[in-house]
């Protein structure tokens, strides 16, 4: 009892000391420090408790500031976890993994140093390596109020381990959120550096309180000045397409909230001029933060032990690739329920051209199949009119024309479309409103291929594959088809969202990989202090 009180007092003193150094409680951890190209980096982020953003960004940059890859992660209870997939083509060297939130990215980032070896090129002829010139003092506190039990100092390969983690009640009452528990290979010959990049001169960005914010600028191509009051459309093509619009501000800026998107989505951003003669250019902001000022690097000799470890790791990863031993399994997710009808509302009529005779172009389709729709193509200047049922007469303006939910202004895009190109057509024969936008009728064409090839490339349209919030994933269970095939996992347990309890069972099996491993438990207290405990063991 007395020992517990003393430990609690010491921890409290340490917490008060470190609190001034680590006020935000921003912590960023990876499963390992040394990787091979083609592998996956697992990451856990404790985001600042005073930052309301729901998105945290992870990216990988090389020593010259070039971004290699990046992901957007959803923040729940000021914590997040995800992964970075390393390209196979990366050259061997030191890289930096960064964690930050957009509204403070220009002022504050967490940076970790890692080493990546090219899978096809060892370090036999390499004698020097670039390393970060400096590193911060470790701002985690090692606590004795978390105890790892039942792990021997030496464990045989391919053995089952049944261990427990005990957490003192007084510590559990101080904990903020979940724990990270990881069991992975470690390399004592590579001690990574990490630092907090901070600046008082950076300009804060938007706070992503509800999801990813997509932003950009519209400029007038003639004057090169920002164009204000321009209507910008964002379309997410789907069975029921998503749609947003924005009127640019005085500085030509526009913003869209991607709050219901997860994983990879197709998106189209386009702008429409206020006058026929006006020519515009649309640009999209980079989703990730600029590299900024890079830390200094220094040359260091490559330890021989490190070279041999790299050779071993390359062999293991290559073998895993050959036998398709996957590291991660993507988790299923519940898609947000869509509306029953698209944003233009319930159509007056829906026509399926496949139910009728084959017609070669849209003029014939409108004449034969579309009641209340008049399409004419005189001298390659097509016009389209929809009848206004309320007044029993045609509108004097072109309706809103959509292809797979994407607005199009050039009717030449649809003039050659025949019945074999079209899956269905929705027709709205009345005025429709969306916000303060007015549509004199709607003709929504859904194509059979839905491949967006009919969209004309222009300065006023951007078609992109957008990686929104990353899909959640879990460590895959090893599937070894034959007993002669070795299990070469280097990460043998990963749970970044473990609920703190008095006793936490941690059961795992070692792989065929021998060498030093480490079980580490990490968490954060309510006052922002980052705590950890670890247990080293040898697989031999």
- The tokens describing 55, both together, are 């998105």
Is position 231 within any domain? no
Q: Whole-model pTM above 0.85?
A: yes
CA–CA separation, 347 and 443 (whole Å): 9
Of the candidate ranges 65-69, 225-229, 288-292, 487-491, the one whose mean pLDDT is the lowest: 288-292
Does residue 507 sit in the same domain as residue 410?
no
Does residue 328 sit in the same domain as residue 355?
no
Is position 329 within any domain? yes
pLDDT value of residue 15: 36
pLDDT value of residue 205: 78
CA–CA separation, 286 and 216 (whole Å): 9
pLDDT over threshold 90, residue 8 = no
User: For residue range 87-121, what is the model confidence (pLDDT) as tens digits?
Assistant: 999 999 999 999 999 999 888 899 999 999 998 88
User: For residue range 34-82, what is the model confidence (pLDDT) as tens digits?
Assistant: 999 999 999 999 999 889 999 999 999 999 999 999 999 999 999 999 9
CA–CA separation, 28 and 98 (whole Å): 9
Does residue 35 sit in the same domain as residue 78?
yes
- Residue 329 buriedness (CB in 10 A; 0-12 / 13-18 / 19+): exposed
Is position 248 within any domain? no
Domain that residue 36 falls in: 25-201+290-333+471-539
Does residue 295 sit in the same domain as residue 370?
no
Is position 99 within any domain? yes
Is position 14 within any domain? no
Give the number of domains in the chain: 2
Does residue 95 sit in the same domain as residue 193?
yes
Does residue 489 sit in the same domain as residue 526?
yes
First to last CA, the chain: 38
Does residue 59 sit in the same domain as residue 161?
yes
pLDDT value of residue 12: 39
Q: Is 320 helix (H, G, I), strand (E, B) or coil?
A: helix
Mean pLDDT score across all residues of the chain: 89
Is position 312 within any domain? yes
Residue after which a domain boundary falls, among 408, 429, 457? 457
Q: Does 67 or 14 have the greater pLDDT score?
A: 67
Does residue 327 sit in the same domain as residue 357?
no
CA–CA separation, 400 and 396 (whole Å): 13
Does residue 359 sit in the same domain as residue 483?
no
Length of the chain: 540
CA–CA separation, 476 and 216 (whole Å): 38
pLDDT value of residue 48: 93
pLDDT value of residue 320: 86
Is position 257 within any domain? no
pLDDT value of residue 6: 35
Does residue 403 sit in the same domain as residue 324?
no
Does residue 323 sit in the same domain as residue 384?
no
Is position 280 within any domain? no
Does residue 420 sit in the same domain as residue 525?
no
Of the candidate ranges 159-163, 202-206, 359-363, the one whose mean pLDDT is the lowest: 202-206
The domain spanning residue 405 has which CATH number?
2.170.130.10
């Amino acid at each position: 009892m007395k020992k517990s009180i003393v430990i609690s007092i010491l921890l409290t003193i340490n917490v008060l000391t470190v609190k001034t150094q680590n006020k935000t409680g921003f912590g960023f951890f990876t499963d390992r420090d040394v990787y091979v190209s083609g592998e996956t980096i697992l990451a856990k982020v404790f985001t600042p408790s005073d930052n309301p953003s729901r998105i945290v960004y992870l990216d990988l940059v090389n020593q010259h500031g070039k971004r290699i890859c990046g992901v957007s992660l959803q923040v729940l209870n000021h914590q997040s976890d995800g992964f970075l997939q390393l390209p196979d083509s990366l050259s061997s060297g030191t890289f930096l993994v960064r964690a930050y939130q957009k509204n403070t990215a220009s002022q504050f980032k967490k940076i970790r140093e890692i080493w990546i070896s090219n899978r096809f090129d060892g370090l036999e002829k390499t004698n020097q390596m670039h390393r970060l010139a400096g590193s911060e003092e470790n701002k985690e506190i090692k606590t004795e109020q978390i105890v790892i039990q039942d792990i021997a100092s030496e464990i045989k390969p391919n053995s089952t381990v049944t261990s427990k983690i005990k957490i003192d009640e007084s510590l559990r009452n101080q904990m903020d959120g979940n724990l990270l528990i990881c069991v992975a290979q470690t390399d004592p010959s590579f001690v990574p550096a990490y630092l907090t990049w901070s600046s008082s001169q950076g300009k804060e960005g938007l706070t992503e309180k509800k999801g990813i914010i997509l932003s950009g600028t519209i400029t007038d191509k003639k004057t090169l000045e920002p164009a204000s009051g321009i209507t910008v459309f964002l379309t997410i093509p789907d069975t029921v397409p998503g749609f947003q619009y924005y009127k640019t501000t005085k500085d030509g800026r526009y913003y869209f909230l991607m709050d219901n998107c997860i994983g990879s989505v197709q998106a189209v951003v386009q702008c429409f001029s206020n006058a026929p003669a006006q020519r515009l250019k649309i640009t999209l902001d980079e989703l990730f933060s600029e590299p900024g000022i890079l830390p200094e690097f220094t040359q260091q000799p490559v330890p021989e032990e490190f070279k041999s470890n790299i050779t071993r790791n390359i062999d293991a990863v290559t073998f895993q690739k050959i036998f398709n031993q996957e590291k991660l399994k993507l988790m299923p997710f519940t898609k947000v329920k869509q509306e029953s009808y698209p944003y233009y509302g319930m159509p007056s009529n829906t026509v399926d051209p496949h139910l009728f005779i084959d017609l070669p172009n849209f003029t014939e389709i409108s004449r034969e199949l579309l009641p209340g729709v008049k399409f004419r193509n005189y001298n390659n200047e097509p016009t389209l009119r929809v009848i206004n049922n309320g007044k029993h007469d045609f509108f004097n303006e072109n309706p809103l024309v959509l292809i797979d939910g994407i607005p199009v202004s050039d009717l030449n895009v649809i003039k050659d479309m025949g019945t074999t190109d079209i899956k269905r057509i929705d027709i709205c024969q009345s005025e429709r409103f969306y916000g303060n936008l007015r549509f004199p009728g709607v003709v929504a064409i859904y194509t059979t291929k839905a491949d967006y090839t009919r969209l004309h490339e222009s300065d006023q349209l951007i078609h992109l594959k957008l990686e929104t919030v990353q899909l959640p994933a879990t460590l895959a269970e090893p599937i070894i088809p034959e007993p002669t095939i070795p299990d070469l996992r280097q990460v043998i347990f990963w749970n970044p969202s473990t609920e703190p309890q008095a006793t936490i069972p941690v059961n795992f099996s070692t792989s065929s990989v021998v060498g030093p491993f480490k079980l580490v438990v990490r968490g954060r207290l309510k006052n922002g202090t980052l705590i950890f405990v670890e247990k080293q063991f040898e697989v031999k």
